[in-house]
A and B are shown apart, each in its own frame.
Chain A
């Protein structure tokens, strides 16, 4: 599914210390237009719970997740 998604912005969050991946994504998504998609690449295992929880609490949507080796890309659509 993620092959068809064309993100508007891609962020490299690999190796960042806690809590920067979620902070950086949150800062970036505020700058984007509703409907745009952010691809967030991370190596944090905690992101599997943290990103969905963040999306739920902020009203945004994770439309796809793509894992290649130890890098996971979350495709986040700005909803509001």
Chain B
């Protein structure tokens, strides 16, 4: 490796060494409890796929470059020098972790492997060896933010076409204005994804509830965060924040995407609007009687998969269950559940990478959970989770159907006659 590159990587290690990271890397006693907490280790029981195994790679680099003892006596505590082979280990550590933080919940010291892997991803970005797919997606999202005015008209036209689907579902007289855009003073700015399902189903729900809402031009997902690039993460999130502030909305509602929700709700500081998940909003409308559901209309056994960033890291556990229980007559909880629910193995950007065999193997814990419930329908509330659950379904030949919560709600909406 070139000396200049090593200097750049050293400066990243030093800049990232804040108080929590120092605590995390100093406190680990290698007790091994995290081994049993990691879905990747469950599927592939090798040390390098355990939380402590991953963290050790970064800890050894920090030891070498941020501690006098690591510099003077590198053999004490296994300090490790930067080099191509070591960066291969860093890659393997970073990109086998979904950042689900189940290990953190079970660690006696609360060590956040996800944060440690954030350092690993940052090193790979600077080294130019981060996954190309995620860098490309982050760059495209940044470009979209810079050039959005060029794309607005085409996007508005295709969104207008989707209004007919909303009209048809709700038996409304006209499609016009059912998916509003650039609506100044709307109560809600809804941020979806690229797919029609992420716009049409929420639009049906917003219209059923007669909400004063508007659709964002941007996609909620933040590929800068997945890639591990702090600057792009901030730029991509700021696109939505600026749009919300320009429209003067009271609330930003995030599509079924766990990471997008967590970033805006928890990682962007104090914002002049409320941030909610569409899951919370659906629950609110159902509780307020604004959206009516056909009760017990699904008799097949149904289970719910908690997306890690929405549940364990976002605290949204009860709302989706309350909605599902109104629709289905045979709801079956996975075991373990809620904070202890197993990650599906698709989060953290992994689902966008060319790693299907790895994800099938590391989805074994989730597969075992689903099979144990006997459920025929698995409902979840995250795009990544839906993709990964479908991969698990195919990989293990499961006889299940995977659905978004919003999809289940729209299928079982009690439609009132048009006025």
Contacts and interface: CB of A to CB of B under 8 A. Distances in A.
Interface of A: 16-23, 26-27, 43-50, 52-54, 56-58, 65, 67, 70, 72
Contact of A18 (B142, B147, B152, B198): B198
Contact of B193 (A18, A52, A67): A18
A48 B154 contact: yes
A4 B137 CA distance: 30
A20 B354 CA distance: 11
B140 interface: yes
Given A19-B221, A20-B352, A45-B159, A57 B140 contact: yes
B159 to A, nearest CB: 6
A43 B196 contact: yes
Interface residue range, chain B: 35 or more
Contacts of A44: 194-196
B219 A70 contact: no
Name the residue in B140, B148, B383 with the highest tally of chain A Cβ atoms < 10 Å from its Cβ: B140
B141 A47 contact: no
A43 B142 CA distance: 23
Contact of A53 (B140, B162, B192, B352): B140
Contact of B219 (A17, A18, A65): A18
B144 interface: yes
Helix, strand, loop or mixed for chain B's interface? helix
B139 interface: yes
B137 A19 contact: yes
Contacts of B199: 45
B358 interface: no
Contact of A17 (B150, B154, B161, B383): B383
Contacts of B386: 17
Contacts of B142: 57
Given A19-B194, A19-B221, A23-B137, A53 B151 contact: yes
Interface string B135-168: 0110111111001101110110111011000000
Given A17-B383, A18-B219, A23-B352, A72 B136 contact: no
B225 to A, nearest CB: 13
A58 B136 contact: yes
B139 A19 contact: no
Given A17-B383, A17-B386, A17-B387, A49 B137 contact: no
A49 B217 contact: yes
A58 B387 CA distance: 26
B223 interface: yes
Contacts of A18: 193-195, 198, 219, 221, 257, 383
A19 B352 contact: yes
Name the residue in B136, B144, B147, B195 with the highest tally of chain A Cβ atoms < 10 Å from its Cβ: B195
5 contacts: A18-B257, A45-B155, A45-B162, A49-B148, A58-B136
Contacts of A58: 136, 139-140
Contacts of B162: 45
